[in-house]
Amino acid sequence: MAVIRPFFSIRPSEEKADKIAALPYDVYNREEAKAAVANHPLSFLNIDRAETQFDDTVDTYDERVYQKAHDLLWDMVEKGDFIREKKRCYYIYELTMNGRTQTGITACASIDDYANGVIKKHENTRAEKEADRIHHVDTCNAQTGPIFLAYRSNKRINEVVDRVKSSDTPVYDFVADDGIRHCVWVIDKDADIAVIEQAFSSIGEIYIADGHHRAASAVKVGFMRREANPDYTGEEEFNYFLSVLFPDDRLMIMDYNRAVKDLNGMSKEDFLAKVCEIFDVSEIEHASDQSEEQLRPKQKGEYSMFLGEKWYLCRLKEADKNPDPVKGLDVSLLQDLLLDPVLGIKDPKTDDRIDFIGGIRGLKELERRVHTDCAVAFAMYPTSIGELFAVADAGLLMPPKSTWFEPKLRSGLFIHEI
Could you read off the pLDDT of 50-65 as tens digits, one per residue?
Answer: 999 999 999 999 999 9
Asked if residues 182 and 413 have their Cβ atoms less than 8 Å apart, the reply is yes
The three-class DSSP label of residue 147 is strand
Pick the CATH number of 256-381 from 3.30.1760, 2.60.40, 2.30.30, 3.40.50: 3.30.1760
Asked if residues 79 and 72 have their Cβ atoms less than 8 Å apart, the reply is no
Asked if residues 311 and 305 have their Cβ atoms less than 8 Å apart, the reply is yes
Nearest residue to 116 via CA among 212, 236, 3, 214: 3
Q: H/E element holding 191?
A: helix 190-201
Alpha helices (H) along 49-154 = 63-79, 111-116, 127-140
Q: H/E element holding 319?
A: none
Could you read off the pLDDT of 291-312 as tens digits, one per residue?
Answer: 898 999 999 999 999 999 999 9
Where in the chain are the domains?
4-252+406-417, 256-381
Question: Which residues in 348-379 are b (16+ Cβ under 10 Å) and which e?
Answer: beebebbbebbbbeebebbbbbbeeebbbbbb
The pLDDT of residue 319 is 67
Three-point CA angle 19, 21, 23, nearest 5°? 125
Return d(Cα 91, Cα 414) in angstroms, integer.
Answer: 9
Residue ranges of E strands in 296-393: 302-307, 310-316, 354-358, 376-380
The pLDDT of residue 124 is 84
Three-point CA angle 58, 63, 68, nearest 5°? 85
Return d(Cα 202, Cα 313) in angstroms, integer.
Answer: 44
Nearest residue to 200 via CA among 157, 233, 163, 236: 157
The pLDDT of residue 40 is 95
Nearest residue to 52 via CA among 134, 74, 133, 43: 43
Return d(Cα 344, Cα 383) in angstroms, integer.
Answer: 24
Q: Which residues contact 110 (CB under 8 A, 6 or more apart)?
A: 2, 3, 4, 5, 118, 119, 239, 240
Low-confidence ranges of the chain (pLDDT < 70): 319
Return d(Cα 416, Cα 4) in angstroms, integer.
Answer: 14
In the chain, DSSP finds a helix count (H) and a strand count (E) of: 14, 21
Crossing angle, helix 155-167 and helix 190-201, to 10 degrees?
A: 150
* Residue 164 one-letter amino acid: V
The pLDDT of residue 190 is 98
Q: How crowded is residue 294: how many other Cβ atoms within 10 Å of its Cβ?
A: 13
